[in-house]
């Protein structure tokens, strides 16, 4: 099992950023790599246990289950059910922490998973930089103006 961890600081209040990222179905609005998304079974996008099914801009399909959502802690966790990456036991958490100096927020996103043998470094970089950091960079642009 490996762990990938990425963090960043956004020049926006945590509650404003949380209003965007807490919607489990909103990936197309705040990531640069998701083309479209839907919640299966017509469940609300903030119901723990709901499954999002989304298509990447490169055509890949990923299904994820919402495991936890806390408006108090600005935190959510989810697992991957199906993906083209071939990972197993994938659980990720996205957390925002208010920074009172300047009304900014500290963003953390981490995942633990079992990668296919020999793909550890490639997937760690792809997920850490290509997913987590890319999403943080996209959020920075969104809140910049």
Terminal Cα-to-Cα distance of the chain (whole angstroms): 39
pLDDT tens, 119-134? 999 999 999 999 999 9
pLDDT tens, 56-98? 999 999 999 999 999 999 999 999 999 998 899 999 999 999 9
Q: Give every CB contact of residue 81 below 8 A, 6+ residues apart in sequence.
A: 51, 63, 64, 65
Q: Which of 105, 113, 132, 140 is closest to 6 using CA atoms?
A: 132
Q: For 55, phi and psi rounded to 5 degrees?
A: -110, 130
Which pLDDT does position 145 carry in this prediction? 60
pTM for the whole structure = 0.94
Domains and their CATH numbers in the chain: 2-144 (3.30.530.20)
Q: What is the three-class DSSP state of 76?
A: strand
């Amino acid at each position: 099992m490996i762990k990938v961890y990425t963090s960043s600081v956004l020049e926006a209040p945590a509650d404003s950023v949380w209003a965007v990222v807490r919607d489990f179905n909103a990936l197309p609005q705040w990531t640069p790599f998701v083309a479209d998304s839907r919640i299966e079974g017509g469940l609300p996008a903030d119901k723990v246990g709901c499954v999002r099914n989304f298509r990447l801009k490169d055509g890949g399909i990923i299904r994820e289950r919402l495991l936890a959502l806390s408006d108090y802690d600005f935190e959510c966790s989810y697992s991957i059910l199906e993906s083209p990456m071939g990972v197993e036991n994938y659980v990720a958490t996205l957390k925002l922490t208010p920074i009172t100096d300047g009304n900014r927020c500290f963003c953390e996103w981490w995942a633990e998973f079992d990668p296919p043998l020999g793909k550890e470094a490639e997937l760690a970089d792809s997920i850490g930089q290509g997913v987590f950091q890319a999403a943080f960079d996209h959020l920075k642009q969104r809140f910049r103006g």
